[in-house]
Chains A and B, each alone.
Chain A
Amino acid sequence: DAKTTQPNSMESNEEEPVHLPCNHSTISGTDYIHWYRQLPSQGPEYVIHGLTSNVNNRMASLAIAEDRKSSTLILHRATLRDAAVYYCIANAGNMLTFGGGTRLMVKP
């Protein structure tokens, strides 16, 4: 896995968009960028992944920089249920290694 760097924590207000950054400057051409999130006392759940192009799904959007050295997970309207630890992973092989992630706190 390429090393990823994320802020330890971020705060957001409910109903506002959230942009969660991730740096992966050593990413290789075949590494996919994966995002997972973990709610308290649960296992992580898949959010989104991409390779080069921006991606959208029902949960979030993934914006990938043109040089692929960074990406941003976008939650369009944060809800209290989005409070979780968000993990960014850059990986091409069988192993998915989770770093410290970003703890997102959502204020009502």
Chain B
Amino acid sequence: SQTIHQWPATLVQPVGSPLSLECTVEGTSNPNLYWYRQAAGRGLQLLFYSVGIGQISSEVPQNLSASRPQDRQFILSSKKLLLSDSGFYLCAWRKGRRELFFGEGSRLTVL
């Protein structure tokens, strides 16, 4: 069966510090991978999606970046965090047009 894991689950970072969130999927190959962000009390915002290794599409211009170094690994990064980067980050995977499966989420607080 397929599983998705993302970490860390919770982190508190100062403004200006770097960020790295990791997501891995097991039990499938060549999935579409996604990063979403949810600010407190708000809806989900699609940040990045990837249809293959090294292929990243960005939906919102900002100080975040994503990389897909391996087929089932998706990384969200920032060189310098802003206060507005605080939120609940969710990684998800999908095979073709089938349902989207989400990870457990990473809650980021920028102080």
Bin the interface of chain A by size. 20 to 34
Interface of B is mostly: strand
B83 on the A face (CB < 8 A): no
CB neighbours (8 Å) of B101 from chain A are 46
Contact with A along B37-57 (1 / 0, CB 8 A): 000000110100101000000
Residues of A within 8 A of B90 (CB): 43-44
Is A100 at the interface (CB under 8 A from chain B)? yes
B43 in contact with A100 (CB, 8 Å) = yes
In terms of DSSP, what is the predominant structure of the interface of chain A? loop
The A-B contact count (CB < 8 A) is: 45
Q: How many of chain B's residues have a CB under 8 angstroms from any CB in A?
A: 20
Within 8 Å CB of A36, what residues of B? 100
Residues of B within 8 A of A95 (CB): 46, 49, 59
For residue A24, CB closer than 8 A to chain B, the reply is no
- Which residues of B (50-68) have their CB < 8 Å from a CB of A? 51, 59
Residues of B within 8 A of A96 (CB): 34, 46, 94, 100
- Asked if B97 and A32 sit within 8 Å, CB to CB, the answer is yes
Interface residues of A (CB under 8 A from B): 32, 34, 36, 38, 41-46, 49, 87, 92, 94-101
